[in-house]
Amino acid sequence: MKILSYLNRILLALIIGITFIIQPLNSEAKAASTLRELRAELSKLQAQKKSNENEKKSSQTEIKNKTAAIDNAYSEIKVAENKIELAIQKIAESEKEIETITAETNELMRFMQITSGENAYMEYISNAGSMTEMIMRLSAVDQITDYNKEQLNKLDNLIKENEQLKIDMANYQKQLNSNITAYENRISKLDARLAELDELADSIDDQIKNQKSLIDYYVSLGCKEDQDLQQCVSVANNAGWLKPLKKGTVTSLWGYRKDPISGVTKFHNGIDLAGNSEGTPVYAAAAGTVAGITKKSSCGGNKVYVHVYVKGVAYTTYYFHLLTINVKVGDKVSTDTVIGTVGGGKQTKSYDKCSTGAHLHFGVAKGFYLGGGKEGYSSYSTMVSKSISPPGFGGKGWKFTSRTQFYNS
């Protein structure tokens, strides 16, 4: 019975644990299907932005304090070094003084000891002219001896104090160096987090702008606050994909790669297509509806997001590093629509920091990023996780010379 009871408790704990695991997944999977829900998501994004800004300020303040603490620690180390040097000097001086007093004491003791068969000490005492003088002579000898002993003890204690000071200051230096290492490690982590927050800030700012544009678009269509958005808007269905450029070369693939700017391995949520100069027309790879636009992002520059259906499956296509944008949110586009032009080169480098030359970053993700209904979601990270390698392209270095040219492996 005890075993059954124990097993029942384990089973109950597992059920509770699974419930907590499943709930966030379900809540993440649930997409906004009405204007009201889109507005709620916008509020969450704005709250997240504020939270990130507060964390950024807090991190910057902590970095400033830790930097000041490091400067102070280096100053304290210098003070400790000076104290150690001073202690060494005092020890040397004390040792010399001990040698001098010891020599004087030895000389006095030799004077008072028996020499040449005569007791000089007794002679010195016995030669006193009176009892009073004898007592005074005895007292003088004792005082000289006691004084020398007292001086030697003081100097010996001073040496011990200075030796301990050396040890204490050396330990203090070790502690300060340990503190400096800890502060530097913390600053390194905070710097990394600040870089991450800066990247998130751009992403959240883009999402907020796009979310607002999308809400305005649905409002312009006359969608009601609690009306199903999928019923309020329709997206054209496509039989397949076309290339977004008339020609090009695949220079970077979808997936993990070493980032050409930072040198850090990161996930690349699309493919890079080079071989065209800035200003070359970029076409919609499939007919659909413009869902979002970002202008002059620090990483990706000008961006366009288009919702499409291909063979009945919902996708979001996205085009980054554009020089110009020729569409607006809500526009219906065909495969002949020029949605923008190639950028990423000299004309966009003043604001687009994630490009090393003229090219198009083309991506495809399942579902409707910045969209409503059962296919929709608003999280950029969700879009990245749903991204796929754009169909019809070959490996790195593969060239195409027409929009209908497909790769056959």
For the segment(s) 234-400, the CATH number from 1.25.60.10, 2.70.70.10, 1.10.1760.20, 3.40.190.10 is 2.70.70.10
> In the structure encoding, which two tokens stand for residue 147, read together?
């004084």
Q: What is the pLDDT along the chain (409 residues), one digit of tens a residue?
A: 444 344 444 433 433 333 333 333 333 445 677 888 888 888 888 888 888 888 888 888 888 888 888 888 788 888 777 877 877 787 777 777 777 777 766 666 565 554 434 455 556 556 666 666 666 655 666 676 677 677 778 777 877 877 787 788 778 788 888 888 888 888 888 777 777 777 667 677 877 877 887 788 778 777 888 888 777 767 778 988 999 999 999 999 999 999 888 888 999 999 999 999 999 999 999 999 999 999 999 889 999 999 999 998 999 999 999 999 999 998 999 999 999 999 999 999 999 989 999 999 999 999 999 887 788 888 888 999 999 999 999 999 999 999 988 876 4
Asked if 285 contacts 263 with a C-beta cutoff of 8 angstroms, the reply is no
CA 158, CA 95: separation in Å to the nearest integer?
10
Asked if 340 contacts 324 with a C-beta cutoff of 8 angstroms, the reply is yes
Residue 210, pLDDT score: 76
Q: How many CA atoms lie within 13 A of 72 on its CB side?
A: 8
Asked if 179 contacts 69 with a C-beta cutoff of 8 angstroms, the reply is yes
CA 291, CA 269: separation in Å to the nearest integer?
18
Residue 12, pLDDT score: 38
Task: Please tell me the pTM assigned to this model.
Answer: 0.56
CATH top-level class for 55-193? Answer: mainly alpha
Residue 8, pLDDT score: 43
Which residue reads 């379900």 in tokens? 26
Residues 6+ apart with CB under 8 A from 290: 304, 305, 306, 327, 328, 329, 330, 331, 333, 339
Q: Which amino acid is at 262?
A: S
Asked if 368 contacts 214 with a C-beta cutoff of 8 angstroms, the reply is no
Enumerate the domain spans of the chain: 55-193, 234-400
Q: Identify any residues that bridge with 365 across adjacent strands, giving them in sequence order.
A: 316, 387
Asked if 241 contacts 286 with a C-beta cutoff of 8 angstroms, the reply is yes
Asked if 317 contacts 285 with a C-beta cutoff of 8 angstroms, the reply is yes
- CA 247 remoteness from chain centre: 40
Length of the chain: 409
